[in-house]
Each structure stands twice: as C-alpha cells, then as structure tokens.
Copies of this chain bind each other. A is one copy, B any other.
Amino acid sequence: MASTAIPVIISLSSKPTSLRKTNNSSDSFLCVQSPNSVSLRSSFVSPSSIELSSNRGVSSVSSASRVRSRICASFAQVMESAAKTDSNAPTIVDVDLGNRSYPIYIGSGLLDQPHLLQKHVHGKRVLVVTNSTVAPLYLDKVVEALTKGNPNVSVESVILPDGEKYKYMDTLMKVFDKAIESRLDRCCTFVALGGGVIGDMCGYAAASFLRGVNFIQIPTTVMAQVDSSVGGKTALNHRLGKNLIGTFYQPQCVLIDTDTLNTLPDRELGSGLAEVIKCGLVRDAEFFEWQEKNMEALMARDPSALTYAIKRSCENKAEVVSLDEKEGGLRATLNFGHTFGHAIETSFGYGQWFHGEAVAVGMVMAVDMSHRLGWIDDSIVKRVHNILQRAKVAYYPS
C-alpha cells in the first residue's frame, strides 16, 4: 500500500507472518560471480508488508508498541533531543528471554564502575578474549574493572589478530587452547572485549567450552553495540559463506561504555551508524526521524546522542529478539539490506568491506528495487540516500 502523503516518515516494517511464508512472486535472485562467490537467494518483503504512514501516525503506533513490549529501559533517558547524561547512572535495556534474560548497560564511564561487571562474573576465573587493536587500548582497564576490590578473581587473556579475515575456526582454537591450558572449569566467565568479530567468536567459544560457560560482552564498536551484542547470535565464517557456523547463546550482561568509541576510526563509526539507520528504517519511524535531526551530533560522538541512539537501537532489536529468539520469522526483518550486503561481502572476500558498509549499499539496492517494483515512493529512496551520505558510510555511491 504505497503512501501518497508527503512528507512521510517511513517505516519498512515487515510483518512476521508475511515474511515467514515466502511469497514467490516477490522473490528475486542476485548472482555474484567470483571464485569465492555463491549465488544468494534474496527474498523481499511483499507489497502488503510495507507500511508508509504519516509522521504522527507512525510515532503513536511506535510508542504504543513500546508500551506493550517486554523490553524495559530502566532510568530511561527519554530524550527527543540529546539531553545531558549522568555518567554515574547507566541506561539499562533489559532483554527478556525468560531464564536467559540479561541487561545491557549503556553510558559514559561505565568501565570505571567495577560493580557493574563484577556482579555478573560467576566463579573466580575470567578469560578476556580481545584483539591486537583493542588490547593496548582497553585490556588493562577491563582487568582493573574485573579485579578492583575483588582480589579473589584472576583474569587470563587471549589476544587474537584483528579483523573479519580471522573469523575462522583456526583462530577460535586459540581461545580453547588458552582456556584449557589455563585449566579453566565450568564456573569460569568468558569476556568479549572488542567489535562484532570478537563478540561472535568469544560467544561461540563460551557456548562450546565444556558445553557452555558464563559470558559477558564489552563491545567497543557501534556495530557491535547495536547489533551483534544483542540477541545471542554467535558465529564463525566458512570459506564459502559468512557466519555459517555458530549457535544461539545469550550473555550474562552487555556493558557498553560509550567512551570506548572515542578511539573508533571514522570508517568504523560510519559502518556502525548504517546499522542504527537500518533499525529506524525497519521498525521505528520516530527513531529514524530523530536520526535525521541528530546525525551531526552522532558524527561528533556526542556521548548523550550516542547513548540514546544505542539505547533505542538495542531496545528495538531486543524487542524483536524477545519475540523471536531463533529467527523463526519476525527476527528476519532485521536482515533488511543484508541479502545484498552478504552477497557483497562474500563476493569481495570478508574484510574488504565493513559489514555496515555492505549493509548500507544493500539497503540502497533494496529500496531501489522496492521502488522499481512500485512498492515505495521515490521520496523514501531519497531520504535513505541522504541519511547514509550524512553518516559518511564509506563505499556509498556518490
């Protein structure tokens, strides 16, 4: 049902029931030819699952759905603009998954509050899994947060090479080697310190070491903070495809210290913001509108703006995950832009494009195709182009 009202706040909110049943008439195929490529099947949302609503209409629907949601933001920093945050009180998003529920702490200076981490450490042995880029910046700080006033806890660490191209089984074995050589037992805790690759790999290692040990995530990139740290997906790449090996495994908590973003390269910031933008496009028109107003604050790494954007992204993803943990239907809506995006990553080899960059181009391709099929208005296409340009996502076609 294409909208005729302009201006509109758009929400490409795919309904789970329509996504679950594949509508063959709206399927398409993308074949990428390269030595490592595979042909990927691309399913698009059917026309009936695209909702275009006027500004206030979508906002109220969006608000209503949050009231019904099982996701709670404690100490909610409700801000239409980026208000000043209190660095001592973290924003908390609770991911409700029954006995696998966990909190996400978000805020500035959280690594200086050791109790936040320590209350989620089980046992006296901790293994921090990080990479060669993040370790020099934050490993000491994390060890301090884990052990300050808590001398009974001993911390081991394993530093993996940095990058998507190392997201393979042979790298993961280094985590098992370290855990076993250190004689860790089932009561230990694994801590992922780094971006999405570290989170995915450490999560799979935690799920698989002695059939599952406690697990904490400290994501240090926007992408990991808003996406891979929420929902319990763990993963490794296979030479024939991305994230083909892994499990669902939930952490004890996720601690997001926005100060760690101060050292994030610009290119990675843009890549992460693409995922934030996707979140607004897929299911939260009010949040998308907020992003259009506050993109410059996000680009300037304003802590309050970042906290709000991360919180809202986590709330949205957590709500979807709590309703569909194993990706039976609704959770697949979060894959918007990912079908093309994964094809790009697979075709060019992992690590050439950042995930968010590939998703950004994937979203551009998806809205372009949706427009050509007559499902959406060209104003939506322009707004998607515009916000991605302002977020300075690399590889965005100018």
Contact = CB atoms under 8 A, between A and B. Distances in A.
Contact of A211 (B173, B176, B247): B247
A327 B245 CA distance: 25
Contacts of A240: 180-181
Interface stretch (A55-63, A82-90, A202-210, A369-377): A202-210
Nearest to A186: B327
Contacts of A238: 176-177, 180
A244 interface: yes
B207 A247 contact: yes
A235 B245 CA distance: 15
Given A180-B238, A238-B176, A212 B326 contact: yes
Nearest to A172: B169
Given A180-B238, A238-B180, A209 B173 contact: no
Contacts of A208: 204, 208, 245-247
A248 interface: yes
Contacts of A169: 169, 173
A122 to B, nearest CB: 13
A233 interface: yes
Given A209-B244, A211-B246, 14 more contacts: A38-B183, A169-B169, A169-B173, A176-B238, A176-B245, A180-B240, A180-B241, A210-B244, A210-B246, A211-B247, A211-B248, A212-B247, A212-B248, A247-B247
Interface of A: 38, 169, 173, 176-177, 180-181, 183, 204, 207-212, 233-235, 238, 240-241, 244-248, 326-327
Identify the 6 closest CB pairs spanning chains A and B, nearest first.
A180-B240, A211-B246, A208-B245, A211-B248, A180-B238, A211-B247
